[in-house]
Structure 1
Amino acid sequence: MDKTDAGGQSQSQGPKPKNSKVMIALLGVTGAGKSTFINVACGREVLKISHGAKPCTQDPKSVEFQMDDRTIVLIDTPGFDDDKRSDVRILEDIAIWMAKKGYMGEQMLDGLIFLHPVTLTRAGGSELSRTQLLEKILGPGAYNRVFIATTMWDYIVNENLVKERLESRFAEGGVWHELKSKGAADVKHHNTQESAHAIIRSIIEIADRMGKPEIRLENELKKEKGRLVQTSAGKTLEGQITEKILILEDEICKHGKTRPPASYRNDKVSEHRTEWKRWHSRQRELQGKLARREQELKKLQNIIVRFFRVLAAMFRPPR
């Protein structure tokens, strides 16, 4: 397990008090095994497990348990790649929940565990966007607080093929290359309590030994006098949303050229009416997606603020 100092950057804050709670957030796509990880770590079923495509975790939940005379707090979060909520909305909801629960006050996060099912064959565009945004917010000095834990090893047939796919993710140009090369840990989770506790202990060891480092976004905000859209994270998110808007506008334009004759709307021929309804339904769907993306762009300042409060909180010392 890789636990080297990320990027060789100095850790400016003191070590974590050993009598404080250890807080860890779990992130990942729907079905990655976040709720299962928590149940296994606790040694009992405290969260409902999803056995289908529909996510069980609609809102974040926190679970406390005792391990090695320490209080461990694991935060289960909604899965990414949800058909009904964008990744931006999910991260925003996580931030709002954490603020309401007081997890941005005296008690801060100590680490992030990204659970990745090895049954997922390839990295999607949304996964790459999420990872790039995380990198911009944290900066290399904080990558050693990120643990990429692969799951679902019991469900694969060709382990060599899976290992090749994972190696491509860590290779230069891969979705996890930057994180891994500068301190993030790559671990295999075997869905056992021993495996879960080993990952948690590694996070505890880093927090106890190294304390809280400064992160890129916090430093950039100081330089930019609070102008979030001028930071690396702000520019990255703005670019990602703008790109999606341009793609949707192009798709709407192309779909508009396939519009059936207006007479089809109330035509006596059922096939014509069906064709019009199908076209109109798709047009409304695209317009709705575009409106949501444009709204996200307008809310960019607030979204970045919430991202900052969630992920920067990982490294801010207790007051």
Structure 2
Amino acid sequence: MAPQPKRRPIMVVLAGVTGAGKTTFTSVASDREDLGIGDGLDPCTQDPQAVQLTVAGRSVILIDTPGFDDKDRSDMEILEDIGKWLSKQGFTKHLDGLILLHPITQDFDSTLEKRRTRLLEKILGKNAYKRVAVATTMWGSLVSEKEVESDIRRRWGETGVWDDFRQGGATLTKHFNNKESAHRIIQIIIDRSDEAKGAGVLLQEELARKGARFTDTSLGRELETILEDDICVIQDLLLEHRCERPPESYRKSQNSWERWKWCQWEEEYNELTKNLELRQIQLRRLNSFIVLYSRSPNGKHSQSQCGI
């Protein structure tokens, strides 16, 4: 009997907010105790990290990513960095699925959550939603599950923030913070990937072009639109704020209220200016990122990246 061809590793991205338990999930799934695990909401994973493990005889590469809702980086920056890192490492070639961890103990801004879900769509594409598992975590921290169950059903139901995932065939499940539970969830991605027979995700397909500029991808365009919209909003706020500028005499006034009024205005103005400059830098950096494909001797494509 001819030997069976060796199957490539299953590539799974692990995503979620800071404190969702992504690194803990990776640790229990892989029996790795050397992975840094954050305390509370303190983010530990600042850059994506790939960990190899075996699930039911299949080789799996679990890609642990930085947490959303980071006080130092916006969700948009994090997803931009994840997308670039995946393309740079070549993992977009065979990205099999996504596990989105959601801690039931935290409340979230629904607007930010919808934006985050929309950006994830630009990485995966709706055709890949069957290879998404939304896994709720922190069940051991609850006294009563009734209210939480209702909130999860609302998010998963019609018009909920995960409705697109649900309609696209994603799986909603629970994670109980142990190896058996983690492997069960990973197995969902393995089974769905086998059913898809190697079909790619949206970012993978869009980058499979020679000299692909990151802003030519759906993710890149969405990030570019968000940045441009944010810049316009901040510019309008700055213009409005300049019109509210206190008299110059307030700057060194002997009146404590007038000095406070000036300091408050100046602090808000400086913060707006800082945010504007930050987004302008992010937009330039985004526009400079190019993923280059070149043919290797065996005729297959390989990836590299550069900035201009």
TM-score in terms of structure 2 length: 0.80
Structure 1 residue 318, shift from structure 2 partner = 9.0
Q: Which residue of 54, 72, 80 maps to 2:68?
A: 80
Deviations 1:256-282 (A, max 9, x none): 344332222233445544443332122
Other-structure match for 1:29 = 17
Aligned to 1:134: 120
- 2:37 counterpart (49, 71, 83): 49
Which range moved further: 154-163 or 178-187?
154-163
Contact 1:141 1:214 in 2 (8 A): no
Corresponding residue for residue 177 of structure 1: 163
Instruction: Tell me how far 1:118 sits from its aligned partner.
Output: 0.9
CA gap of 1:125–1:243, structure 2 versus 1, over 3 A, is farther
| Deviation of the 1:115 alpha carbon | 0.6
Contact 1:25 1:76 in 2 (8 A): yes
Give, in angstroms, the shift of residue 198 of structure 1: 0.1
What SS class does the counterpart of residue 31 from structure 1 fall into? coil
Q: Which residue in 2 is equivalent to 1:94?
A: 82
Match of 2:297 in 1: none
Distance 1:136 1:292, change over 3 A: same
Tell me how large the CA RMSD over aligned residues is. 3.3
Q: Does structure 1 conserve the Cα–Cα contact (< 8 Å) formed by 2:203 and 2:219?
A: yes
How far the C-alpha of 1:187 sits from its partner, in A, is 1.0
Contact 2:19 2:38 in 1 (8 A): yes
Q: CA deviation at 1:203?
A: 1.3
Preserved contact between residue 55 and residue 187 of structure 2 (Cα < 8 Å)? no
1:244 partner SS = helix
Cα shift readout 1:42-90 (whole Å, capped 9, x = no counterpart): 2342312212332111112222223333332211111112222122221
In the alignment, structure 2 segments of 5+ residues that lack a partner are 294-299, 303-308
By how many angstroms is 1:32 displaced? 0.8
Whose strand proportion is higher, 1 or 2? 2
Q: Residues 219, 64 of structure 1: CA spacing in aligned structure 2 closer, same or farther, 3 A cutoff? A: closer
Counterparts of 2:251 and 2:48, CA distance in 1: 45
What is the identity, as a one-letter code, of the residue corresponding to 2:226? Q
Structure 1 runs not aligned, ≥5 long? 1-16, 310-316
Instruction: Give how far 1:236 is off.
Output: 3.8
Other-structure match for 2:102: 116
Match of 1:187 in 2: 173
Deviations along 1:145-199, one digit per CA (max 9) or x if unpaired, are 1111111112233322112211221222221101111111111111111110101
* Contact in 2 for aligned 1:123/1:175 (Cα 8 Å): no
Change (3 A) 1:179 1:285: same
Identity over the aligned pairs, expressed in percent? 43
| CA shift in 2, pair 1:52/1:252, >3 Å | farther
How far has the Cα of 1:117 moved from its partner?
0.8
In structure 1, how many angstroms separate the alpha carbons of the residues matched to 2:8 and 2:208? Answer: 29
CA contact (8 A) 1:18 1:208 kept: no
Question: Helix, strand or coil: the match of 2:66?
Answer: coil
Q: Aligned equivalents of 1:134 and 1:218: distance in 2? A: 13
Could you say if the C-alpha distance between residues 77 and 217 of structure 1 is closer, same or farther in structure 2, counting changes exceeding 3 Å?
closer
Does residue 204 of structure 1 match 2:190? yes
